[in-house]
Amino acid sequence: MSYSVIKSESDKINSITSCLDNYELQQRSLYKYTDDISDESALHVASISNEFDVDHFDDNNFHNDIQEKQIEEELNIFQRTIRCGRLFCLSKFPFFRQSRVATKSKTNHLKIYQIFSYADNLDILLMTTGIIAALISGGLYPVAMYFFQGITDNLANLGESSIKFIHFNNVTNISNECTIVSNKNNRTESAHDSINRLIKYYIIIGFSNIICFWIAWATWILAAERQVRRIRFALFRNILRQEIGWFDIQKAGELNNHLIVDLDNIKDGINYHVPQFFFLLSTTLSVVIFTLIIGYKLTLIFLCLSPVIILIFNLTIIVIEKYTIKEVSAFAAASSIAQEVLGNIRTVVSFHGQTKEEERFAKNLIETKNIGIRKGLYIGLCQCFSKIFNFITFAITFWYGHQLTQTDCKNYSTGTVIVVLISCMVAIFSTLKFIPNFQNFAEALGSASYVFEMIDRQSKIDAMSNEGDRPEHIIGDIEFENVTFTFPARPDIPVLEITKNLSLKISSGKTIALVGPSGCGKSTVIQLIQRFYDPNQGRILIDGNDIKTLNVAWLRSHIGVVSQELALFTESIEENIRFGKLDATDEEIQAAAKMANAHEFIMTLPQNYKTILGDNLSGGQKQRVAIARALISNPKILLLDEATSALDNKNERIVQDALDKVKAGRTTIIIAHRLSTIQNADFIIGLKHGQLVEHGTHHDLMRSKGLYYELIKVQNQRETDKYNDQTDDNIETNLIRQPTLSRRYSKLYCSLADDSNASDDDNNEKIVDSSFIKRKIRFRMPFLFKILKFNASEWPWILIGTICALTLGAIEPISALLFSKIYGLIAEQDRDKQRYLVNVYVGTIFILGFISGVAQLLSNVGFSKSGEALTMRMRKLTFAAMIRQDMNYFDRKENSVGALVTRLSSDAAALKVFDSSNNFHF
Write the pLDDT tens digit of every residue in 464-473: 888 888 888 8
Question: Domain end: 634, 653, 672, which one?
Answer: 634
Task: Write down the mean pLDDT value for the chain.
Answer: 71
* Alpha-carbon distances of 488 from 273, 532, 597, 743, rounded to whole Å: 41, 12, 39, 64
User: Does residue 855 sit within a domain?
Assistant: yes
Residues 350 and 250 in one domain: yes
**Choice between 805 and 497, residue whose per-residue pLDDT is larger:** 805
Asked if residues 271 and 224 have their Cβ atoms less than 8 Å apart, the reply is: yes
Question: pLDDT tens digits, residue range 684-696?
Answer: 888 877 777 888 8
Share of the chain above pLDDT 90, in %: 2
Residues 347 and 394 in one domain: yes
Sheet holding 559-563, edge to edge: 559-563, 637-641, 667-671, 511-515, 683-688, 691-696
Question: pLDDT tens digits, residue range 861-890?
Answer: 888 888 888 888 888 888 888 888 887 777
Total of domains in the chain: 3
β strands within 583-682, DSSP E: 637-641, 667-671
Question: Domain end: 599, 617, 634, which one?
Answer: 634
Residues 254 and 356 in one domain: yes
User: Does residue 673 sit within a domain?
Assistant: no
Residues 450 and 597 in one domain: no
Measured CA to CA, the distance from residue 846 to residue 818 in angstroms comes to 12
* Alpha-carbon distances of 318 from 120, 323, 462, rounded to whole Å: 38, 9, 45
Measured CA to CA, the distance from residue 334 to residue 331 in angstroms comes to 5
Whether 47 has a pLDDT exceeding 50, the answer reads no
State CA 263 to chain mean position distance. 10
Question: Domain end: 634, 660, 690, which one?
Answer: 634
Orientation of helix 795-824 relative to helix 831-882, angle to 10° = 150
Q: How many residues does the chain have?
A: 922
Whether 779 has a pLDDT exceeding 70, the answer reads no
pLDDT for 48 = 35
> What's the Rg (C-alpha) of the chain?
42
Q: Give φ, ψ of 562 to 5 degrees.
A: -130, 115
State CA 845 to chain mean position distance. 39
Residues 83 and 117 in one domain: no
Nearest to 74 by CA among 361, 404, 365, 329: 404
pLDDT for 533 = 86
**Choice between 391 and 55, residue whose per-residue pLDDT is larger:** 391
User: Does residue 760 sit within a domain?
Assistant: no
Question: CATH number, domain at 117?
Answer: 1.20.1560.10
User: Does residue 502 sit within a domain?
Assistant: no
Q: Within a 10 A sphere around the Cβ of 296, how many other Cβ atoms?
A: 19
Residues 220 and 130 in one domain: yes
β strands within 352-500, DSSP E: 478-485, 496-497
Domain limits for position 366: 112-458+804-921
Question: pLDDT tens digits, residue range 836-857?
Answer: 888 888 888 888 888 888 888 8
Residues 132 and 14 in one domain: no
pLDDT for 302 = 76
User: Does residue 690 sit within a domain?
Assistant: no
pLDDT bracket for residue 650 (50, 70, 90): low
User: Does residue 782 sit within a domain?
Assistant: no
Tell me 549's DSSP state.
G
Residues 367 and 274 in one domain: yes
Residues 152 and 21 in one domain: no
Asked if residues 242 and 459 have their Cβ atoms less than 8 Å apart, the reply is: yes
User: Does residue 511 sit within a domain?
Assistant: no
Asked if residues 482 and 474 have their Cβ atoms less than 8 Å apart, the reply is: no
pLDDT for 188 = 55
Residues 265 and 384 in one domain: yes
β strands within 624-741, DSSP E: 637-641, 667-671, 683-688, 691-696
Kindly report whether the global pTM for this prediction surpasses the value 0.75: no
Residues 34 and 169 in one domain: no
Whether 12 has a pLDDT exceeding 50, the answer reads no
Measured CA to CA, the distance from residue 605 to residue 180 in angstroms comes to 98
pLDDT for 53 = 39
**Choice between 30 and 547, residue whose per-residue pLDDT is larger:** 547
Residues 437 and 302 in one domain: yes
pLDDT for 783 = 59
User: Does residue 430 sit within a domain?
Assistant: yes
Tell me 365's DSSP state.
H
pLDDT for 730 = 53
Whether 294 has a pLDDT exceeding 50, the answer reads yes
